[in-house]
A and B are shown apart, each in its own frame.
Chain A
Amino acid sequence: MRIRISDDALAIACGADRVAEAFARAVPAAAIVRVSSWGMHWLEPLVEVDGVGYGPVAPADVPAILAGAAGHLCIGDVAAHPFIARQTRLTFARAGKTRPLSLEDYVASGGWAGLEQARNIGPAATVAAVTASGLRGRGGAGFPAGIKWATVAAAVGDRKYIVCNADEGDSGTFADRMLMEGDPFCLIEGMAIAGLATGAAKGFIYVRSEYPHAIAKLEAAVALAADIIAPFEIEVRTGAGAYVCGEETSLLNSLEGKRGEVRAKPPLPAHKGLFGCPTVINNVLTLAAVPWILAHGAEAYADFGMGRSRGTMPIQLAGNIRHGGLFETAFGVTLGELVDNIGGGTASGRPVRAVQVGGPLGAYHPRADFGTAFDYEAFTGADGLIGHGGIVVFDESVDMARQARFAMEFCAAESCGKCTPCRLGSQRGLETLDRIIAGERAAENIALVTELCETMKFGSLCALGGFTPYPVLSAIRHFPEDFGH
């Protein structure tokens, strides 16, 4: 008997280890294999017994499953489940299928083919392939990866670096974490390809301290893969609980051992990045998309998507949603389809009122925006952003004035303090929203906070102060009835 259970942090938080122990006690002869998560989070802990899926499983369900009397938990063939079958999994092709730290599984599922191809075609053709694929930075900014790589490749310097931004601090996002825990070799391969393409010998993965499982998996994977990626070297570094370190220049300062303050640009990191050297800094999902692109061809990747958003995006369905989890699909799917059809509406069963897309710095969208296609430009057109692809659903019980207040409070707490619009603006914004919530001169204070948001948007040094106006202004615009009563 072969039993597969995920060892992803989310599955463990839902009790996967206890379920695995229960199976081990009940069937000592069974092979219990710990694999990555399929990303159907409402079904975790998900268990596959000889290819048949059950979830969510509690230790007490084990006897019924073994007796064939757990029909209410049975989902049949997991790969055929509609949530999985509807996806286009390129970056997450291995999710649910392989053991995260098994080099054997990695090779058997096409691992290292991208790196081999890069070694065959050489640096210039590798950069050209990434450019031709249309891959854009998945961290939020959406900057073309190929242009960044070409800039570093052309830069002169005796040392160059590849830095992976794994400081996934946005609420509603977990794709980086799932990739690092579930398929760490894929990220390592992507970084090795980036090193080869740009002439960098060393890479750093900067992971937030809130992700201890990811850190442990990466450290083990880096040690296992050292000979394969040599002469390229990777070091895993842990953050220290600062949200702003997800901003690329702040992250570089943090890696250097400094306060995580944002740097003014220019110079761009591609010219003067880590320790003043030319540096590629990309998000986990950007780097993890590269092995597929090299192995299958830039054109195959670019065939997916719409407009200037090519390829696929691992979208994360979160918050008050019935079917939460990881949904990788080509750009172009609408917000309504994601929330209502794929996500199944709210977990509470009450109507959806607002959806925040793109993390704490993303806009709140009403149902009226549900026709918006998931695409960088379409979301900009709807006064929002897709950010790192997180979607947080709220039901009708949400108070949007409190959410706007929270956005300012969060910005005030996490501001690095370098620029005034962010450092002071967020504090004044918080106080002004408190007055609005208390019913003090609402119209006047709404006008004041709107003007303040304009200043933050155009005067801040980075996206923290610059994008905090998105949740605030969208809440005021789309849900005026929550302000000033």
Chain B
Amino acid sequence: MDHMQALDDLIAAHAGREGPLLPILNDVQAAFGCIDEPAIRHIAAALNLSRAEVHGVVSFYHDYRAVPTPRPIIRLCRAEACQARGADALAAAMAPVAAGRASIESVYCLGLCSVGPNAMVGGALHARLDAQSLAALVEAL
């Protein structure tokens, strides 16, 4: 199956690395949008780990998902520096605007703490957001 072939290729790309599990999981998450049960079993077998060990790692980290997210994701920073610049009110105002079109998720710090509120959409960063500019990001998705 193509999916499993792609998985094998991702695993093979990290052969010989010290501690290869996280680099593999990062690649699988990026390629498939999730790390599902068949992938966990496959990775475990390839690395000679138990399924429980891999599941334990996958479930520990916030970046990994069991199923892909159906809608595009806007990751809005909700940490203290953005709170101080109005991120909480912005998040509350955006919830109805984004409903059904995008998932607005929380992230805790994008490292742009002097120009918040900030968000990441795909790999792109956006600073100095207000209700209008964030709504425009949702529209553009």
Give me the interface of A with B, judged by CB distance under 8 Å. 9-10, 12-14, 41-42, 44, 168-174, 176-177, 209-213, 235, 237-243, 254-261, 275, 316-321, 324-325, 347, 356, 360, 390, 392-395, 398, 403, 406, 410, 414, 416
Give chain B residues whose Cβ lies under 8 Å from the Cβ of A235: 17
Q: Could you tell me which residues of chain B, from 59 to 96, have a CB within 8 Å of some CB in chain A?
A: 60-64, 79-85
Instruction: Please give the distance in Å from B79's CB to the nearest CB on chain A.
Output: 3
- A260 CA to B118 CA, complexed, in Å: 27
Most chain-B Cβ atoms within 10 A of its Cβ — which of A240, A317, A321?
A: A240
Q: Which of B19, B26, B79, B125 contacts A12 (CB 8 A)?
A: B125
Q: Which of under 10, 10 to 19, 20 to 34, or 35 or more describes the interface residues of B?
A: 35 or more
A13 touches B118 (CB 8 A): yes
Task: Determine whether B34 belongs to the interface, using a CB cutoff of 8 Å to chain A.
Answer: no
B113 touches A172 (CB 8 A): yes
B111 touches A9 (CB 8 A): yes
B84 touches A13 (CB 8 A): no
B127 touches A257 (CB 8 A): no
Task: Determine whether B126 belongs to the interface, using a CB cutoff of 8 Å to chain A.
Answer: yes
Interface of B, helix, strand, loop or mixed by DSSP:
loop
Give chain B residues whose Cβ lies under 8 Å from the Cβ of A259: 56-57, 60
B19 touches A325 (CB 8 A): no
Task: Determine whether B2 belongs to the interface, using a CB cutoff of 8 Å to chain A.
Answer: no
- A398 CA to B63 CA, complexed, in Å: 30
Q: Which of B21, B60, B113 contacts A318 (CB 8 A)?
A: B113
Instruction: Please give the distance in Å from A313's CB to the nearest CB on chain B.
Output: 16
Of all chain A residues, the one with the shortest Cβ separation from B77 is: A171
Show 5 A/B contacts (Cβ-Cβ < 8 Å), sorted by A: A212-B123, A258-B21, A316-B114, A318-B114, A394-B84
- A168 CA to B116 CA, complexed, in Å: 17
Give chain B residues whose Cβ lies under 8 Å from the Cβ of A360: 79-80, 108
Instruction: Please give the distance in Å from A482's CB to the nearest CB on chain B.
Output: 15
A41 touches B22 (CB 8 A): no
Instruction: Please give the distance in Å from B129's CB to the nearest CB on chain A.
Output: 10
- A169 CA to B20 CA, complexed, in Å: 23
A44 touches B62 (CB 8 A): no
Most chain-B Cβ atoms within 10 A of its Cβ — which of A171, A321, A394?
A: A171
Instruction: Please give the distance in Å from B81's CB to the nearest CB on chain A.
Output: 4
Task: Determine whether B25 belongs to the interface, using a CB cutoff of 8 Å to chain A.
Answer: yes
B81 touches A210 (CB 8 A): no
Instruction: Please give the distance in Å from A18's CB to the nearest CB on chain B.
Output: 12
Instruction: Please give the distance in Å from A350's CB to the nearest CB on chain B.
Output: 11
Q: B18-35 toward A: CB 8 Å interface, digit per residue (1/0)?
A: 111111011001000000
